[in-house]
Amino acid sequence: MHLVCRPGTGRPDGPEVLAVPPGQDVAQPPETFTTAYERSSSTDRWVWADTAVTYRDLLRGGHRVERAHDLRLARRVLRSAAALEASTYATAPADPWDDPAPVASSFPARQAETLFDVAAPVAPDPVEELLAQQGAVDGSARPGALRLLLAAESSAALVAAEMHHAGLPWSARVHDELLRSELGPRPRDGERPARMHELVESVRAALDAPSLNPDSQPDLLRALRYAGVSVDSTRQWDLERVDHPVIGPLLEYKRLARLLTANGWAWIDAWVHDGRFRPDYVVSGAPSGRWATSGGGALQLPHAVRPAVVADPGWTLVVADAAQLEPRVLAGLARDERLATAGRGGDIYAGLVDQGVVDSREHAKVGMLGALYGGTSGDSGLVRPRLVRAFPAALGFVDAAAREGERGRRVSTLLGRTSPPPSGGWGEAQSGAFADSATADDESRARATGRAQGRFTRNFVVQGTAAEWASCWLASIRQRLAALPVATDACLAPAPFAEQAHLVYFLHDEVVVHAPAGQADDVAAILRESAAAAGRLLFGDLDLDFPVTVAVVESYARAK
């Protein structure tokens, strides 16, 4: 049964719910949310325009759902899918369903308001859109794959809403101690902390530039050159290769400046409340289907501040990382048996060395990453021929994706997510190179943009399929965690997670679960089993391993 939520009708007890029985194309009379929720079973699928809006409010009321279908996410996938090319669903003119998802109420901006008080946009009929999507999928070239993709994507959206609701356990006290030990006491706003102040003086003295502001890139570059330091930029990577007394204090200053501005006291004030960090996750915010985040820089939590991620008393963090996910996904996509074999059981890069393909793990890694990203320089270029010989299927697969991109064509992931067409600049560059007036410059620009698009599509198929694997992994973890017994000691997370192990963080190929300490082993098993399950779901008939490294820790910093 599909339970379609229609928000914004002003009902005090939540969205209006219209049930659509399987195989039917008409909804039953509307019910209140409460009635529908009480009657629902775990096999029903909740349908709504935006998970980040509707489910977030359901969670505030303590309600959890098992399955969902996010109409806006699904629409975006389907309208751009090559498998639906030329369908009426894909070619219809844009309407409000194509608008970006409404900005979810972010934590600092909006404190707890009345339950279900959602400023949802006035959307067209969600039942109609659901039926249109089902029809489009049924009539598409790849109905099974797309159905799995939409289910996985919607599950991921549930996870994102739940992680925001539960929050990442964050100790402002530990974070503050860490900042003090690096920077000195918290200064007044706009002032440099003591340690940074000392370093500025050292830099100024070393460059003989008494009033230099090291935060100004142009001024710093000028001062460096004036002092005889020949660098192309003020980048850390460039500075590190120079031997001059200013380099030490300058690099240290830049490190501390970064810590202060990106994750300093102001960040704590803005983002940590009630012992939790709650970023807004944007499911499939990247074209490849990877998540993005908005606010707080949750995608870039520096290792330096991870000591502040601390489990609640009596609880623990179970951190899992899918080892070398992308090469494994490539093995599956390309059905490359030998690459699958290299990854069986353990480290895939070590497997390459064992098979005699390359002479070191480091070469295996840069060579493989070069193949995935389209790198040709340095060691990656040197190793490439060996990989081509050893894994013709895998290398052939990404090379073919690159050729498609170079010709301006789109490519698709395993489950049918299709890459966006090249930007306008691409077409202009290509046609410019063929014009009568074309210069050598025009031609080289056309080649450069073509290759850039090739690198994008080359990486898209792998990164996008890896994101699909990760969504399946998350969905399976979520389902299995919910089946664990409730904890005897509650943690500080709000209902429905106070007594239930729950996901608190996800980063492309890594997850963190907050769990009662006594369940750590069960959770670790769940994380491994779920990885295997995701692998079977995507590459069922292939003997392909997805090993997971698991760490049970009190603090995220200790995970690796």
| Coil vs helix vs strand at 264 | coil
- With a CB cutoff of 8 Å and minimum separation 6, the contacts of 114 are none
290: closest CA among 67, 51, 471, 528?
Answer: 471
For DNA, the binding residue among 227, 262, 393, 482 (CB under 7 A) is 262
Residue 299 or residue 484: which is nearer to DNA going by CB? 299
Give the pair of three-digit tokens for residue 356.
């005699």
- Contacts with DNA, 79-118, as mask; x by CB under 7 A: ----------------------------------------
Binding mask 19-58 for DNA (x = CB under 7 A): ----------------------------------------
- Residue 9 as a binder of DNA (CB under 7 A): the answer is no
Length of the chain: 560
The amino acid that residue 493 corresponds to is: A
Stretch 477-516: interaction string toward DNA, x if CB under 7 A: ------------------------------xxxx------
- Beta carbon nearer to DNA, 388 or 482: 388
Beta sheet of 16-20, edge-to-edge order: 31-32, 16-20, 2-6, 45-48, 67-70
Output 123 or 331, the one with its CB closest to DNA: 331
Choosing from 93, 237, 243, 488, the residue that interacts with DNA (CB under 7 A) is: 237
What is the Cα–Cα distance from 23 to 32, expressed in whole angstroms? 23
Residue 423 contacts DNA per CB under 7 A: no
Task: Determine, following the binding rule CB under 7 A, whether residue 290 of this chain makes contact with DNA.
Answer: yes
Nearer to DNA, 236 or 431 (CB): 236
Nearer to DNA, 95 or 215 (CB): 215
Which residue number, 173 or 303, has a Cβ lying nearer to DNA?
Answer: 303
**Binding-site size, DNA (CB under 7 A):** 58
Using rule CB under 7 A, residue 468 touches DNA: no
- For DNA, which residue of 213, 423, 431, 439 counts as binding (CB under 7 A)? 213
373 binds DNA (CB under 7 A): yes
What residues from 347 to 366 belong to the interface with DNA (CB under 7 A)? 366
Q: Residue 120 Cβ, how far from DNA at the closest point, in Å?
A: 23
What strands lie across the sheet with 272-273, from one edge to the other? 168-169, 276-277, 272-273
- The binder of DNA chosen from 267, 277, 473, 506 (CB under 7 A): 267
Give the residue, chosen from 285, 307, 346, 432, that forms a contact with DNA under the rule CB under 7 A: 285
**Closest to DNA by CB, 89 or 373:** 373
287 binds DNA (CB under 7 A): yes
Q: Which stretch binds DNA (CB under 7 A): 31-39, 75-83, 149-157, 260-268?
A: 260-268
CA distance 266 to 195: 17
Strands (E), 235-379: 272-273, 276-277, 280-282, 292-294, 315-322
Residues 303-322 interacting with DNA (rule: CB under 7 A): 303-304, 321
| Residue at token pair 């490849």 | 288
Which of residues 103, 141, 194, 292 is near DNA by CB under 7 A?
292
Position 518 contacts DNA (CB under 7 A): no
Q: Is 299 in the site for DNA (CB under 7 A)?
A: yes
424 binds DNA (CB under 7 A): no
Provide the phi-psi class of 171: left if phi over 0, else alpha when psi is between -120 and 50, else beta: beta
Give the residue ranges of DSSP H helices in 483-556.
520-539
Looking at beta carbons only, is 34 or 294 nearer to DNA?
294
Alpha-carbon 116 to chain mean position: 28
516: CB partners within 8 A, 6+ apart? 314, 315, 316, 487, 488, 489, 491, 501
Q: How far apart are CA 543 and CA 332, in angstroms?
A: 9
Taking Cα atoms as reference points, which of 472, 490, 525 lies closest to residue 166? 490
Residue 216 sits in the site that holds DNA (CB under 7 A): yes
- For 515, the enclosing helix (H) or strand (E) is strand 510-516
Which residue in 301, 523, 548, 553 binds DNA (CB under 7 A)? 301
**Least distance to DNA, CB of residue 285, Å:** 5
Strand partners, 16: 6, 32
236 is a contact residue toward DNA (CB under 7 A): yes
Cα gap 262→348, rounded to integer Å: 35
DSSP string, 60-104: HTT---SEEEEHHHHHHHHHH-GGGTT-HHHHSPP-GGGSPPPPP
User: Could you tell me which residues are beta bridge partners of residue 45?
Assistant: 2, 67
Which spans of this chain sit near DNA (rule: CB under 7 A)? Answer: 213, 215-219, 221, 233-237, 254-255, 258, 261-262, 267, 282, 285-288, 290, 292-297, 299-304, 321, 366, 369-370, 373-377, 380, 444, 448, 451-452, 455-456, 459, 463, 507-510
